[in-house]
């Protein structure tokens, strides 16, 4: 781990590798060993390697790579707590730490990846707290690589035919929840902004979706898309959602991701008791799952000689992938670095500002997360 000043406003937050910009500043005991402290010569801030570690403010280490592996295998929080011989609260804390490193990685990838494929988008419907509060997880997936470039969340009202008891319950509970009008369109507009960042360097782009009218309206209201349509460098292709969901379907990549999430994540199983109780916690687990899918899981399992990951198929080098995995499982990221777009979905997720239905108090966020 390279040393740097944890103060994002300090010039030594990104120091020259040849400059001696710190002084040794004593040591302290932690977890049975002595930890060296340092003092920045520019701003006077004191810190240690623990300050820059994903384990900052913890009293014990859990293997973060194993947490990702077992999350991808479908273990619930209770199952993970039994596996690591610790509490559910501790497991959720470590997943949250992982998510706050993965979120900037996803944000940086959106701005720096050299997109070499068309994109597919659709929504995965689930619920949190109760079936009276369904939600829609929009996914933006590479058509060839199945690399997930972006996602977001939209809360909806319960749809379909309801019994009188369900109608009465919704009428009683809904005044306590802040529903956004046109939530699907607004959620997809956020996904379109993520798509614009991903595809900024690509001359021609095709976006494949189903025929949902909210997608067409969201695209029509985006000025960048309007300009690209005028230039002839963007096309929106709609596919009937009733078409067979085979590999020949242009929506295969996003249908594949829907299936994988339903299969691997307990809270997305049909008719299960493992439904989510907190929206922020569930989205953090989804972050961890998507990182594992993108950077660790093989592109094709059971195909002889196929060792590439989805990220390699999307164009990332194996060296960069290994470096990212090492950073995610060991290092701490800082919100003030500007890697996450202010006010966007990923920023709200980092700050745990996405409300859970019927939960009156805001989600707890450790002070160090926004330091």
Q: Please enumerate in sequence order all residues whose Cβ is within 8 A of that of 97, keeping only pairs 6 or more positions apart, or say none.
A: 54, 55, 64
Which SS3 state, helix, strand or coil, does residue 368 take?
helix
Architecture label for domain 64-370? 2-Layer Sandwich (3.30)
Residue with tokens 């689930």: 126
Tens-place pLDDT, residues 8-43: 888 888 887 767 899 999 998 876 778 899 999 999
Closest-CA residue to 59 (of 25, 78, 89, 32): 32
CA 1 to chain centroid: 24
**Helices 88-112 + 64-72 axis angle, to 10:** 90
Tell me how far apart the alpha carbons of residues 371 and 368 are, in angstroms, rounded to a whole number. 5
Opening angle at CA 282, ends 6 and 66, nearest 5? 65
Instruction: Write out the residue limits of the CATH 3.30.420.10 domain(s) in the chain.
Output: 64-370
Q: How confident is the model at residue 342 (pLDDT cuts 50, 70, 90)?
A: low
Tell me how far apart the alpha carbons of residues 3 and 90 are, in angstroms, rounded to a whole number. 27
Tens-place pLDDT, residues 178-193: 888 889 999 999 999 9
Residue 50, pLDDT score: 87
Tens-place pLDDT, residues 143-188: 999 999 999 999 999 988 899 999 999 999 999 998 888 899 999 9
Tell me how far apart the alpha carbons of residues 193 and 190 are, in angstroms, rounded to a whole number. 5
Q: Please enumerate in sequence order all residues whose Cβ is within 8 A of that of 316, keeping only pairs 6 or more positions apart, or say none.
A: 113
Which H/E stretch holds residue 236?
strand 234-239
Tens-place pLDDT, residues 228-280: 999 999 999 999 988 998 999 999 999 999 999 999 998 898 877 788 899 99
Region 200-226: what's the mean pLDDT?
92
Region 351-370: what's the mean pLDDT?
88
């Amino acid at each position: 781990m390279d040393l740097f000043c944890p103060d994002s406003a300090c010039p030594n937050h990104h120091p020259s590798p040849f400059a001696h910009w710190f002084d040794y500043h004593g040591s302290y005991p932690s977890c049975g060993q002595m930890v060296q402290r340092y003092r920045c010569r520019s701003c006077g801030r004191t810190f240690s390697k623990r300050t820059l570690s994903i384990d900052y403010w913890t009293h014990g280490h859990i293997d973060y790579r194993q947490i990702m592996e077992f999350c991808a295998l479908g273990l619930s929080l209770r199952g993970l707590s039994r596996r690591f011989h610790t509490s559910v609260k501790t497991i959720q804390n470590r997943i949250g730490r992982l998510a706050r490193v993965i979120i900037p990685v996803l944000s940086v990838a959106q701005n720096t990846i050299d997109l070499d494929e068309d994109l597919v988008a659709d929504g995965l419907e689930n619920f949190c707290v109760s079936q009276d509060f369904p939600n829609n997880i929009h996914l933006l997936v590479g058509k060839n690589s199945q690399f997930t470039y972006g996602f977001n969340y939209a809360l909806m009202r319960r749809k379909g035919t309801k019994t009188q008891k369900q109608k009465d319950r919704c009428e009683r509970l809904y005044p306590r929840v802040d529903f956004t009008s046109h939530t699907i369109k607004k959620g997809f507009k956020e996904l379109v902004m993520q798509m614009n960042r991903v595809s900024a360097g690509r001359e021609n782009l095709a976006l494949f979706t189903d025929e949902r009218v909210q997608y067409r309206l969201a695209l029509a209201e985006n000025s960048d898309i309007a300009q690209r349509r005028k230039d002839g460098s963007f096309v929106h292709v709609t596919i009937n959602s009733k078409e067979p969901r085979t590999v020949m379907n242009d929506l295969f990549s996003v249908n594949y991701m829907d299936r994988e999430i339903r299969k691997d994540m307990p809270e997305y199983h049909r008719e299960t008791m493992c439904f989510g109780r907190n929206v922020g916690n569930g989205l953090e687990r989804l972050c961890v799952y998507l990182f594992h899918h993108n950077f660790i899981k093989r592109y094709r399992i059971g195909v002889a000689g196929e060792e590439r990951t989805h990220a390699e198929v999307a164009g990332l080098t194996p060296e960069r992938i290994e470096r990212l995995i090492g950073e995610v499982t060991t290092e701490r990221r800082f919100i003030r670095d500007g890697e996450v777009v202010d006010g966007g979905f990923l920023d709200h997720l980092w700050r745990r500002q996405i409300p859970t239905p019927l939960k009156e108090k805001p989600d707890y966020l450790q002070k160090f997360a926004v330091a």
